[in-house]
Amino acid sequence: MTTTRHAHRATRRNLAAALVALSCSVGVLTACGDDDDSSATTTAAASGGSSVLPPIIADLNTIDGTTVDVKAGGSIDLTGDDTTYSDWTGEISDPKVAVFVPGKDEGGASFNPGVKALAPGEAEVKMTNSTSNKTVTFTVKVT
């Protein structure tokens, strides 16, 4: 009878431990899984803050002659040049609408050139690569 009583106690302890572990796991998953940012976004918007916009990805090999739409505060990440990305320079027809961001190497990481959208409007972007002598021109429409 002692063995049975010990077995029942062990089973109860194991069951209790399993329930505690399960409830902790559910609590952690619930906390981690709460991706509803609507309250945070609403609060930030109500308090005058802004949220970070994901970049618009555009390929330097296909952007020439196109128009890229981007929201004010957003950016355009210009990809497609893995070797001379830091050799691009850019001229923007209206620096109040957008600014050119040069590509660079920093801390072991490579950053593509890009365009930062500042205010609503349109601007022409002309980029030239000093190594490849390639030139691309496109329009940025900031909303």
Report percent pLDDT > 90 for the chain.
Answer: 63
Q: How many residues does the chain have?
A: 143
Please tell me the pTM assigned to this model: 0.65
The CATH code of the domain at 56-142 is 2.60.40.2020
- Of 66, 72, 61, 52, the C-alpha closest to 115 is 72
Residue whose token pair is 């320079």 = 89
Q: Which tokens go with 38?
A: 């609507």
Sequence spans of domains, the chain = 2-35, 56-142
Distance between CA atoms of residues 75 and 91, nearest Å? 16
Q: Residues 6-65: pLDDT tens digits?
A: 444 444 445 445 444 444 444 444 444 444 444 333 333 444 556 788 999 999 999 999
